Chain A
Amino acid sequence: MKKMKLAVIGNGMAGIRTLEELLKLAPELYDITVFGAEPYPNYNRILLSPVLAGEQTVDEIILNGLDWYAENGIRLHLGKTVSRIDRVKRQVITTDGIVQEYDRLLIATGSSPFILPIPGKDLPGVITYRDIHDTECMIEAAKNYRNAVVIGGGLLGLEAANGLKLRGMDVTVIHLAAWLLERQLDPVAAGLLQQSLEAKGLQFRLGAQTSELLANDAGTRVSAVRCQDGSETPADLVVMAAGIRPNTSLAEAAGLACQRGILVNDTLQTYDPRIYAVGECVSHRGMAYGLVAPLFEQAKVCANHLAFMGIGRYTGSVTSTKLKVTGVDLFSAGAFMGGEGMEEITLSDPVGGVYKKLVLKDDHLVGACLYGDTADGTWYFKLLREGRKIAELRDTLMFGESNIGDVGHEGHNKAMAMADTDEVCGCNGISKGTIVKAIQEQGLFTLEDVRKCTKASGSCGSCTGLVEQILMNVLGTDYSDTPTKKALCGCTDHSHDEVRKSIREHHLLSQQDVRQFMEWRTPNGCASCRPALNYYLISTWPHEAADDPQSRFINERAHANIQKDGSYSVVPRMWGGLTNPAELRRIADVAEKFNVPTVKITGGQRIDLLGIRKEDLPAVWKDLDMPSGHAYGKSIRTVKTCVGDEHCRFGTQSSMKMGVDLEKMLFGMYSPHKVKLAVSGCPRNCAEAGIKDVGVIGVDSGWEIYVAGNGGIKTEVAQYLCKVRTDDEVKEYSGAFLQLYREEGWYLERTVHYVSRVGMEVIRQRIVNDAEGRRALFERLLFALRGAPDPWKAQEAAGVDWKQFQSVRLATSAEGALS
């Protein structure tokens, strides 16, 4: 079969990235021809600055060498400029007469530096800064001349100036605006940057408009730059870095609609359906992007449509800027300049070289500009994109994420200080170096990519923040944030909240209903969404929606904890951590009868029997004759207690009784994640109630209730909820809080993360202030738990699949028959 022909105009990062993505999807679909005006294969344009500065060579920044084109059967025309697109005949024609036909055309012509229309612009010694050729010209000039002027104090201009300075030239930057990098920095940060650059010997003329470039006496080369105020600056080399313009002339001449860029829709298609365009030459929804991350997102979508898969839309990118200009870290995002109706919080330490400005509007962070210390850039950008209310954080916002307490999965700010050998992901043993290498070599741009590729942060997730920071540090501006709205799993684009809402509002009662109603992409879900949906259904519609054991993780299906060798552990319930000689005797008998290899006291004041075979579980439960301890479930686990006033000379309250009552009340409660309680009889708090989901501490006049503590992955101290007088109030308040968490928490979200997501204010409002709401929550909890069956005793009522415990053995006669 004859292949379709794909022609690509432009051999830069966007065009070739699109081909890479396309080859991954449909390697055999097209006969591909690439035209590149430069005589080099695809290289990393971002790294031209290190080349100019003498830190890297041209060879080192090549992304795809000539052999890559050959291996993939791509015809490559280097140093050939396309002069015309004939849309009727479907041909592209080069200046030297090569004619290439196409079925699909991809335009990735990039952008060109803007040349100021002033006298002398064509003199020898006047160049732009865009490609390898320009870079080589500058390196050459630095060897023979002394004075350089860079017109434009943007990122490119400053990089050129820095490079030329390092190569020994005297450099002056002439900039039209009143401060440097005016699109990325506010005047204060720019002032600090300017000072640090001046200290390195660069000179600046700000607010200056160039009017003319003067030639030397012989008229053979530029010799000076004249500004509108009449002043002259000597210059043997002039670099124009005053902005870029998308290269649209070819597309315009072919009659394609252009408007400050080639107009494309969300599939990167131009007005001619056979022609696609990506990269800096494109205008999408009125935006032209000059950063790599958006271009790569475009490439991904475009390739998908070129491959006839037709999935995916490019809907634009939110960008932040993280720059490293000559060793100084800068970060800005959003409305960092501030403005009407906005407030600013600033921290300025000019001597220490640190400046931070946060812009707030109506309790939201809307902009940030950081100079010198950008470690919290990721976090601010996240707050900004998520539009989270920051009223509670306001006091400490400026001091960064680590100062609001390491809230479990949010990570901390040490990515930059870490050595390559330092471990980032403790679960999977992944070091920083491994992650950095994967990001660089495999071209990863999102947290999800890194997770898939390296496993880092894929298990317990506590290093997620750290991995995000590493990503951002490695990629700088090219970092793509994970989307704000988190899809429940790969089977759907809907978020946890959206799924819960639909189940509630449309009275959905089965997973099949949910998947159909919400247009799941898979027929029966995956290992992530099946347990989540099952929980959402049974927690929203107790006694109505049927539990599906086949959607539960093995521990909840077998009602015991699976161990690494496939055996199970059994933890019988001991209400409030209390037991008696008869129970202990039975436990000892079971341990002997079933040859239990390990018997251990748990952290939750229980006894764990480890190493039991699955088929022995029913007999073990029967012999124990104790209730299920639910140590295996996303459910109520334990209520830990201290001795309290029954024996303790300091005790003020009956903590054991309170603990037993709470545990009996909550028996059989499934929840988004495991739930642990503790009750202490006095403020000495021997039951460690400060690190529990609900912690109750007895005081002389009643009980204090604390919520959302965590002793696990990241220790998090529980927050004070309220003080109550009676035992019944303890039950009502803590029950209502747990019901709120059950109704609104996301599956696998611990209380600490739930509360940090919605804010402690909301919790207080709904549990403490709203008495009616609290009682309603408490009643719903009691209703849901009414008659909760014990899976170790009432298998049928609890819906336990009993057959799983009967082993199926191969008939021995059959084995004999074989031989």
Chain B
Amino acid sequence: MSLVETRETWIAVLALEDIPMPGARVLEGAAIGPVAIFRTEDQSVFALRDRCPHKGGPLSQGIVHGHRVTCPLHGWNIALDSGEAVAPDVGCAKQLSVMVENGQVYLSKAELAGVP
């Protein structure tokens, strides 16, 4: 990916090392609302809208384990790699694309703005 394309498509949001592991940080100020950025113990990074499909709980505040997060409000488990609730619960938190380069986490500008 060229630098130019990076500048136009992606936006740097925070440094990888600022996310606890395993854990999350929340990004405020995007048009689509708060975004939870997760870092798992195998060094993967995921981003979801910070709203549990159950009752809108802040997923960024949940306990992260494997590639899942447990919502702090009522304990729903959400798969980080799809945003889907783990059975038997049903629902989906919108997933966002993530790019990590040189210790910097980037999200898609279009997705943050809610452009389809």
Contact = CB atoms under 8 A, between A and B. Distances in A.
A527 B20 CA distance: 16
A445 to B, nearest CB: 16
Interface in B51-104: 55, 57-58, 61-66, 68, 70, 72-75, 77, 88
Given A550-B64, A801-B20, A453 B30 contact: no
Interface bracket on B: 35 or more
Given A524-B41, A526-B65, A814-B11, A550 B28 contact: no
A527 B63 contact: yes
Contacts of B14: 808
Interface stretch (A121-129, A558-566, A778-786): A558-566
Contact of B29 (A459, A549, A809): A809
Given A527-B77, A553-B63, A566-B58, A810 B22 contact: no
Contact of A815 (B42, B61, B113): B113
Nearest to B88: A452
A554 B62 contact: yes
Contacts of A814: 11, 109
Given A550-B21, A564-B73, A818-B113, A811 B11 contact: yes
Nearest to A814: B11
A527 B75 contact: yes
B62 A527 contact: yes
Nearest to A552: B63
Given A810-B112, A818-B109, A562 B61 contact: yes
| Residue of A452, A566, A804 with most chain B CB atoms under a 10 A cut-off | A566
Interface string B5-30: 00000010110001011110111111
Interface residues of A, number: 35
A803 B18 contact: yes
A531 B77 CA distance: 16
A524 B112 contact: no
A443 to B, nearest CB: 14
A801 B18 CA distance: 10
A811 B58 CA distance: 21
Contacts of B64: 550
Contacts of A453: 88
A808 B65 contact: no
Given A452-B88, A526-B66, A554 B61 contact: yes
3 A-B pairs closest in CB distance: A527-B70, A810-B29, A554-B61
Interface of A: 452-453, 459, 522-527, 530-531, 549-554, 557-558, 562, 564, 566, 801, 803-804, 807-812, 814-815, 817-818
14 contacts: A523-B42, A524-B66, A527-B62, A527-B70, A550-B20, A554-B72, A803-B20, A807-B26, A808-B27, A810-B11, A810-B27, A810-B30, A815-B29, A818-B115
Given A522-B65, A530-B63, 19 more contacts: A524-B41, A524-B66, A527-B70, A527-B77, A530-B65, A554-B62, A554-B72, A558-B61, A564-B73, A803-B20, A804-B20, A808-B18, A808-B26, A809-B28, A814-B109, A815-B31, A815-B113, A817-B109, A818-B113
